[in-house]
Each structure stands twice: as C-alpha cells, then as structure tokens.
C-alpha cells in the first residue's frame, strides 16, 4: 500500500473524534462516520459535542482546512479506524454489535489493500472476529492473499488515553499495535507514526487486545484495595485518607485513593472481558470488580445513616461524571448512586450539581425527586452534602456553606 492519504474513522465519540482530529491536523484527509446526525452536524460546523480540553481547536482547525468532515454514511477510504462502543452483556461477555455494524458499513467499500484498525477495547479474538466477518461479507477478498484473492489488512490498536488529557496523550503515549498478519501490523504502525511521538510496539492482535485489558485490570485491582481499605477504616473509626498518606511514605508503597466506585468505559468494563474469557482462573480480577461494583451500595447506606430520621431531607449531590473536570457519565458510579438514593430515600429531594452538563442523563431525567441545580443554592438549602466527584468547582467552593450539615466526602478533597 502507498502512503495512506484518506482515513475513515467509524464512531465520533471520546476516542474516535480526537483520533480523527489529530490525523487531520497532520495532513490526512479524514471522514468521520457516526450514527448520530447531531454529532455529524456539530463536527461539520467545526464544533465538539462533548467536553475535552484542546479538542475544539483541533476540530475547528481541521474542518476549516477541509481536512476533516463527517457523515452518517461510510465512505471509500484507504484505511478505516473503528472506534465504536463495546459494552458488556448481562453475563459480562463483550457485546460486539457495534463492531459488526461498522463492518457492514465498511465491507461494500473494500476493493483490496485497505487497512482496517479496531481501536475499540475488546477481548482477545475480537480483531480476528472482525476480519473473519468482513471476509464473510466479502468472500472475494482475503486476510492473507490466499487463493490469489486481494487481501485486506486488519489490526488492533487500543487507545491508552486519559479523559481530560486525550489530545496530549494521543501524541505522547506509547502505542501497542497488533496485526492479524505482520504486514497489517506494520501498516498500522506507519499510520499511527503520523502523529504518535511515543514508541509504537508491534505484536499480534490477540496480545494487543489483552494488553489493554490487563492495563485496566491492574488499575482496577489497586483501586479495589483502596476502596476496601476505606470500608474497613470506616468500621474501625480510622481516617482512611490519613492512613493512606502515612502508608505511602514507605518507599515501596503507593496506595491509590478510594472513591464511590469505578466508572468510565475502560476500568469498569475491561476486567470483565478477562473474567469472561477465563472464568475459573481470573479470581483476583473478578473479586476486584465485585469490590468496586459494591461501593455505590455502601455509599448509599452511609447517606441513609447521615440523614437518619430527617423528614423529607434535601441532599446536595455533587458530581455525576465518572472522574473530575469532564462531562463523561459512562458507567459512572455517581449516576448509579443517585438512582439508588432516589428509590430508597422516601420523600427525599436530591439536588444534583454537575457543572459540566446542562441536563440530567436519561436514567435520572424521569425521577421526580431528582433535580439539576447550581452549586451554591443546592448546598445552602441541603440538609446533607454528598460529594461524589472531585471537580475543581467543588474543591474551590466556600466550605462555610456546609457548616453544621452532615457531609459525606467520598473523594477526600475536604479532609
């Protein structure tokens, strides 16, 4: 294949749109594809449909230079990057519905020689599944040139970026590229080298898939240790924040900070893919997931204890995002906690403060006892305060507003 000049990015979410913008900013002609007409319209206007620092300037610049456009239809391109969701099913296996839908859009456009990269986080074997599915739709093509059929090149390159720092880490982080064939891996490496200043490490597709799952499972296990410490410390009357600070003075100890649970589409999801792939062997990984998934129920119990016998309490709930200073609510434990409180606290009014969104998410929008409110009036009128996300707005608020009120700080920012 000659130098890639045209790339279609399928899925313009938190990973797809930044990837499209950074490629376009480096001279590649990029067509973003999304099923949401609103997202397509926003991108074509040079606007960003979600909060991510620096992304807006990249998108606006690329659109104005006619290097980035968006469509609801998959175009012909030399390379395709699939960055669609991979949620898990009820049994914690991966739901590959969106990957297959992307493949159905790509398949009619293939003529042979194209590069297809799966960026979506997925269990080992999913890239092979994608390749096989494409060939089932286009039996005139092959994955390796067998029987003289034109080949397509399929690879996996998992994203490794932190929301809030995506535009920086897309460039600076090392990347892992795994191909179904060595040629596919090298072609993918060459494409990412257009913008990636980190080391690009080449392996096979299944190992690349597993590497991403292992990275997030490692973090999940360590967060579970911190969350379990917080529950134990509460029972023993110990300040967990002071405890961790003291323990971390040991030169070989670095305990993470506890929280109300684990959210986002990576750490809260990826470990389950390992558990599903090896259910008998993944004991520690499963326990970590269960520990972190149980933390929201513990927080709800602590809120119930804090309001006690208060009749029709008003509770200021600070934060809905899954981490600080972003608007991403995917798998957020804060959203789950508000849902549970709404159901369990009879007569309570939940005054939700989330400075990065202008409307409640679907799960909460229909609940009559949940309202979105500004910070100061919510805290001032509340009988109790529950902090779930360590947004800068909450760190900087006047703490005198909380004087005399029960406060449950699940992030330790006011300790």
Active site residues: 212, 266
Q: In what order do the strands lie in the sheet with 407-409?
A: 370-372, 349-353, 314-318, 384-387, 407-409
Beta bridge partners of 350: 315, 370
The answer for 112, left when phi > 0, alpha when psi is -120 to 50, beta otherwise, is left
| Chain mean position to CA 94 | 15
> Exposed e or buried b for every residue in 70-98, given b needs 16+ CB within 10 A?
beeebeebbbbbbbbbbebeeebebebeb
Which of helix, strand or coil describes residue 332?
coil
Show contacts of 407-411: CB within 8 Å, 24+ apart.
408/299, 408/302, 408/303, 408/306, 408/384, 410/258, 410/259, 410/260, 410/299, 410/386, 411/257, 411/259, 411/260, 411/387
Whole-angstrom Cα distance, residue 48 to residue 12? 10
For residue 8, the surrounding DSSP H or E stretch is strand 6-10
Q: How far is CA 107 from CA 3, 113, 185, 234, in A?
A: 21, 13, 20, 55
Helix axes 55-64, 16-25, angle to 10 degrees: 50
Beta bridge partners of 385: 316, 407
């Amino acid at each position: 294949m000659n130098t890639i000049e045209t790339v279609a990015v399928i899925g313009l979410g938190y990973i797809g749109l930044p990837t499209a913008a950074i490629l376009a900013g480096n001279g590649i002609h990029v067509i973003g594809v999304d099923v949401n007409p609103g997202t397509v319209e926003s991108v074509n206007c040079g606007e960003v449909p979600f909060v991510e620092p620096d992304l807006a300037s990249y998108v606006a610049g690329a659109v104005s230079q006619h290097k980035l456009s968006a469509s609801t239809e998959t175009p012909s391109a030399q390379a395709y990057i699939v960055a669609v969701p991979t949620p898990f099913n009820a049994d914690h296996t991966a739901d590959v519905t969106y990957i297959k839908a992307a493949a159905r859009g790509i398949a009619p456009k293939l003529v042979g020689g194209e590069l297809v990269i799966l960026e979506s986080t997925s269990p080992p074997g999913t890239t092979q599944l994608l390749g096989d599915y494409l060939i089932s739709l286009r039996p005139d093509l092959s994955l390796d040139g067998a029987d003289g059929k034109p080949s397509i090149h399929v690879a996996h390159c998992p994203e490794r970026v932190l929301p809030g720092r995506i535009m920086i880490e897309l460039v600076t982080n090392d990347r892992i590229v795994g191909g179904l064939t060595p040629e596919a891996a090298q072609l993918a490496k060459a494409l990412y080298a257009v913008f990636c200043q980190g080391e690009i490490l080449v392996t096979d597709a299944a190992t690349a898939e597993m590497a991403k799952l292992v990275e997030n499972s490692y973090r999940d296990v360590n967060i579970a240790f911190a969350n379990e410490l917080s529950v134990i410390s509460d029972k023993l009357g110990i300040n967990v924040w002071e405890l961790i600070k003291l323990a971390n003075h040991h030169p070989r100890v670095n305990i993470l900070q506890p929280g109300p649970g684990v959210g986002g589409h990576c750490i809260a999801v990826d470990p389950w893919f390992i558990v599903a792939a090896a259910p008998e062997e993944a004991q520690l990984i499963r326990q970590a997931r269960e520990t972190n998934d149980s933390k929201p129920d513990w927080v709800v119990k602590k809120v119930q204890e804090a309001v006690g016998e208060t009749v029709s309490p008003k509770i200021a709930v600070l934060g809905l995002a899954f981490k600080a200073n972003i608007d991403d609510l995917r798998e957020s434990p804060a959203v789950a906690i508000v849902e549970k409180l709404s159901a369990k606290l009879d007569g309570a009014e939940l005054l939700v403060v989330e400075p990065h969104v202008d409307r409640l998410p679907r799960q909460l929008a229909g609940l009559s006892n949940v309202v979105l409110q500004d910070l100061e009036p919510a805290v001032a009128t509340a009988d109790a305060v529950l902090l779930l996300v360590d947004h800068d707005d909450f760190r900087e608020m006047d703490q005198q507003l909380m004087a005399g009120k029960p406060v449950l700080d699940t992030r330790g920012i006011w300790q």
